[in-house]
A and B are shown apart, each in its own frame.
Chain A
Amino acid sequence: MQPRLLQVFRNTPFGRETFLQSIYFARTIDVSIRVYVPKQKRFLMYFENDVLQVDLDESYIFSPDTAEENVRQLLDNSGVNFDFVAPEHYTASSLPDLPIDYEFMCCPRSMSDPGAKIGLGYIGPKVRHVIKTASFPILIPSICYKEWNKISVLFGGSINAVKSLRLGIRLASRTRYPLEVFTIQEKGTDKRSLEKLIEERELAEKFDKYVKNWTFLDKSDVRESLYLIPHDSLLILGAYGHGLVRELIFGSKMEIVQDFMPNNLMVVGPNFSQ
């Protein structure tokens, strides 16, 4: 069965950019797209151990009559298989439940807040919640359509970083695009322990085969280091893998990266299982 990406369609020029990015991703990785054209402003996703309500902003239900036609126009000649999701179940009449059997989901930086807030540096609480809850990785597209021809993985040794490395290798093997790994040098992060971790997780062989370059970023400010990551790469990274306490004290790397990088991001949350 072909892997699937879920796209909640927003029938606006901004939504089109996001959608074009998803189409590019789907074509490159060879996945099909399941498009949800919302009729209500909210929907639920029931995961294995959590239920997530996504409250959409007004723009998602803007001009519903033309939404499906616009989706078809964008997809018809794209070479990407697609279909539309029609919710089978409803928790209440105005509260559809969306299925969750996807391999990827595309979320712009915000789905719940007015357009004015959407931009680089802002990530909405709902998207955070989706990342934390979803059993699949989340594609956060760049603000405007931007093609990529490399894959970069931000690898710091956490559980989620290992998952993102595994995903990076998988995508590199599907696309044949060069894979680069970047490690932000921190106290307690040395190459030898990370190599040992890679070996323990039985990734060493594939790592050697697919990874073209492993760069250690050693600037004192993380943001300075990020300049070295190619702008035309799909940046894969783990999120929220260090637990609540550490996150409250030190903050989340993913938040800094999304705040600073214009790349398309693929974020692997704590519940992602391959």
Chain B
Amino acid sequence: MNLKKLLDRLGFYPAETKLKLIFLGSIVGLLAGFAGFALNTSILFLERHLTVLRPYWWSFIIPGAGAALSYFFLEKILNEGAGHGVPEVIYSVSRKGGLIRARSIFSRIISSGLTIGSGGSAGPEAPIIMSGAAIGSNFARFLKLNERERINMVGCGSAAAIASIFNAPIAGMVFTLEVVLGEWTAVNIVPIAVASVAGAELSRVLRGNQIAFSHESFAIGPGAIVAAVVLALFTSAAALGMTRALRKSHALWHKVELSPWARAFAGGCLVGGLGLAMPMVLGEGYHAVSDAVTGDFHPGFALVAVLVLAKILATATTLGSGGSGGIFAPCLVVGGFAGLAYYRGVGLVLPGIDLGAEGLFALLGMAGMIGGMLQAPLTAIFLIVEVTGDYNVILPLIMVSVLSSTICSIFEPNSYYLRDLEDSGHLLRVGTDARILADLRVAEMLDRDCMVVSDKMKLGEFVDVVKKSSRNFFPVEDEDTGKFLGMIHLDQVRPYLFSREMYDVVLICEIMDAKPAVVAPDDSLTEVLEKMEATRSIRLPVVDGDKYLGMVSKVAALDRYRKELIVQTEK
């Protein structure tokens, strides 16, 4: 008896779908929340024990060793073969019905723990999203849930993971709906919200109710809102710079002729070297940003500006060379420093201006950076409100995050997470045209009810076939081999039809279209419609190798489209 039947028999398995998803979502939320706690604890453990070595000159090797070990574990022991997390989760939701390998539950927790704990500049959020999503996916697989329910469980895992690691349930939920699923429906929102709460609550039980960037409440005046608008320009520039630096770094490191683990080691050592001069760029970097928010970060404008660039460089090097981790935490750190640099820069140019507390601008910088880089303004707003516990900052937060997101979308139409998926045509959200067209195959809409004629048939015999058929097109096959040879359309033979003297003289092979446009059974509906458009046809023959299989028409395609749309959007 499987678990589903057992739960059913014990009355623990509510039949109604929404209740079922809420119940299962809460379990996934707890599991993902625990994964978040495990990753956080392991990073803190490593950091605590390795920090004592930082004063030594040779400590630059530590991030290198961590990145190399991380690569070795991920690629050689677990054969993971994939990237940092979020794009894979989105790909799985978008194209593979939310299926994620079971090994992904723990692979990124360990590998990113090694990279970040040893000092690599990366964030634990993307790995923990991957882990949470994999927990949800495999839990759903175990219970044999359908595709829609499985995707829901992936969302629950992802939301709970974020909720757990940031102690931010709303941000977890919003991030999942905005970035991972791209779909705001009631059937999704409720279980994901419950999972978020479960993840956050578990984190509070295990770690205490900690606010990541707690501070005194900020006074917000109109000046701060105006300044926030200008800050959006700077955070946009930083977000675009970081996006491009990450991409460039991946490309550059792949050209380095070293084995992948040696590349990861070299990249880690470079970051370690940078960390000797500026320790704030190592690891997640939340300590320095926390100081910036509370107003305890004392270095001057120039150093803070350099830190922005150094953190971008360190992150691009860590991730580009093969370290494991995500960009969420580095985004917050870069944004925090960018906001601080902006505040101090304005103070230098306009010494008398009163913008309020500098910590406010560190927060706004973080929101702008997340809004720009991930093009997820709602996530940015809710995350900052939750990690600071300060609702007063909401107005400038909204301004900076939506503006930054908009400005970045002009230069980079897709966020860092989505660009590769969009480029490869894999970003297909449920219920969209592109998704439905990609999901339909020619084989599903074959019309086999069409009379096939032989190439050696005489025109007179063909006229008899026409009399019996309601169609005005006929595929032609080789009489001996059954090979598809072409098509014959009534319009093509009309001139001969009324000349009885031709009936015994003309053969079908002489008047058929020997080079008609054809489609293959594996073609997607998009390809078929493009071919129909190009050839101005409303139906095309489907040919597998040289065998005729049937016809596909625009009418049948539209009918299947409608049915698929109903399936994908049913609540």
Contact = CB atoms under 8 A, between A and B. Distances in A.
B96 A46 contact: yes
Interface of B: 79, 81-83, 88, 91-92, 95-97, 99-101, 103, 141, 144, 424, 426, 443, 521-522, 544-545, 547, 549
B82 A92 contact: yes
Interface stretch (A49-57, A178-186, A203-211, A258-266): A49-57
17 contacts: A1-B544, A42-B79, A46-B96, A49-B141, A49-B144, A50-B141, A51-B96, A51-B100, A51-B101, A53-B81, A55-B79, A81-B545, A89-B426, A90-B424, A91-B88, A92-B81, A92-B83
B154 to A, nearest CB: 12
A51 B99 contact: yes
Contacts of B99: 46, 49-51
B549 A1 contact: yes
Contacts of A44: 101
Contact of B79 (A1, A32, A53, A99): A53
Contacts of A53: 79, 81, 101, 103
Nearest to A44: B101
Interface of A: 1-2, 32, 40, 42, 44, 46, 49-51, 53, 55, 81, 83, 89-95, 97, 99, 101
Most chain B CB within 10 A, of A42, A49, A50, A83, is at A49
Given A2-B544, A49-B141, A91-B96, 10 more contacts: A1-B443, A44-B101, A46-B97, A51-B96, A51-B100, A53-B81, A89-B424, A91-B92, A94-B81, A97-B96
Q: Is the interface of B mostly helix, strand, loop or mixed?
A: loop
A86 to B, nearest CB: 11
A71 to B, nearest CB: 16
B92 to A, nearest CB: 8
Q: Is the interface of A mostly helix, strand, loop or mixed?
A: strand
A99 B443 CA distance: 15
A42 B81 contact: yes
Contacts of B96: 46, 51, 91, 97
A89 B426 CA distance: 8
Given A1-B443, A2-B544, A91 B82 contact: yes
B109 to A, nearest CB: 18
Contacts of A97: 96
A46 B101 CA distance: 10
A1 to B, nearest CB: 5
A50 B103 CA distance: 13
B50 to A, nearest CB: 29
Given A50-B141, A51-B96, A55-B79, A91 B91 contact: yes
A53 B99 CA distance: 12
A40 B75 CA distance: 13
A3 to B, nearest CB: 11
Nearest to A82: B545
Contacts of B91: 91
A2 B81 CA distance: 34
A230 B91 CA distance: 48
B347 to A, nearest CB: 45
A261 B88 CA distance: 42
